[in-house]
Structure 1
Amino acid sequence: MTGDGTLNTPQAPADGGGELPAGAPLILDQHFDGDSLYALRATLEAHVAQAGLPEGRASDLIITVHELATNAVLHGAGAGRVRLWRQAGALHCQVSDEGRVKAGERSAGRPADQWPYEHGHGLWIARYLADRLTVRSASPGSVVTVAFDLPRDDRLPRFSLVRHARPSHVELALSGDLDQQAAQEVSTAVQALLSEHPAPRLVLDLTEVTFWDAIGIAALVTAQQRVNETSAGVMFVAGLSEEFRRRLTALSPTGFTFCDSPEHAAKQMPSPDDR
């Protein structure tokens, strides 16, 4: 992901509460430089797990912060600071860069968010893995704050997958957490369908998915790629929120066909003669 120069740079940062709230107890406050990135990652792993973020999303946060810190080291002043706190049902992590060049030497016309992302994709990763993101200028550098939502106590059980044989297609209804364990179940179910039908007609119903991580996203991408490899397979993804669609589209190297609901997907399903 970080080596692909064709990836899009982030859009304007979404409001995620970049300032450290007054009275919010810090879980972690650690400076870093090029010699301490490994130690920072190890420290984050311990603190994020204790804060209640599920394993997959904990990995997403660690990857995000590591990329941002690496950008600060390689393309900033070579050092920075990470602060971590929990507030309002989310885990917030702030990465500050100690600056790159003197203020008067900045290129004219650059936006306010002067984070040095053009040499890497740390900010791009943060944009699409985090639930919220802010970027702001600070003296002498910049500050990026990401927020990762913690799971609600009332969410659905971790994961379930139910297969429905519809008249025109097979529907896989997913619910709960789309995480590493779920990814394996999705892959197994898709492989079983491909073994049964050389030209599968599949609807993935994600209406009841309540939590996801990068590995769950990868399972959806792999499913679409496997269907694309068949001679005349068709796959629709139904029930996604606009936010989930945006992330899935951004993180996937292959295209998806989205529908608002499984019923809508069934109506859009082409007949065998149309393929």
Structure 2
Amino acid sequence: MILLFKIYAFIFGAMIGSFLNVLILRLPTNEKFFIDRSRCPKCGFQLKWFHNIPILSFIGLRGKCANCKTNISFQYPVIELLTATISLFLFGGEISLHGLTSYLFFFTVACCLLVHFVIDVRHQILPDVINVYLGIIFFIHVVFFYHWKHWVLGGLIGFLVPYLITYLFYKIKGVIGLGGGDIKLFGVLGIYLGPLGIIHNMLFSCILGSLLMMPLLLFKVIKRDQAIAFGPFIIIVAVIQIYFPSTFEMMLGALLF
């Protein structure tokens, strides 16, 4: 029985992954993602239902549009497979109200962070609609499990600290350090992580960003004045904090001691 539910979790994750692909494609261009049917971005051909079967349709079409034969991006099956795997990983097999609500919460958060990650890497934006939705999900969760000081202070610190630093940096250097989406994401994550957790996220995301950017600058892969998406670093650290807290505690301990 548990095996059957795990299969369901994998299939459900793949189906959600198909929807995430729509969000990743349409949110940066402000296209409607609920009403308009899926279509080929090259020729505009509206896909049939059997063209939208997660993972399997890509294999059946041999990675090409059914109409114009343009190559379909590998992003589609990769996101579907990744989301299905995340769903399977998060489904603990506990068939109860608590187990299912916990699964849905953490799976929804993972989906939001995944969409944010891909869009920020490709377009250097973190859509407000995802930040707002993620904030609502966090708020519904924390009001039941945390004292109000945890999420109020966490949200305020998460938003105000990077906002003030960015403002001062702009006044002094005349350059915008963090984008508005990054600041909002810090604020949203602060609701769940709390004051100490969001400070840790700021610290580790800056360290991670520096460690990855320094070699790229050294070997002139990127230029010093080139804009770089910072959201992925925030998200990577947040994923470790939320889903692998013991690992994060070890990282924190190694840094402090």
TM-score, normalised relative to structure 1: 0.25
- Flag the structure with larger Rg: 1
Q: Please state which structure has a larger fraction of its residues in strand.
A: 1
TM-score (norm 2): 0.27
Higher helix share: 2
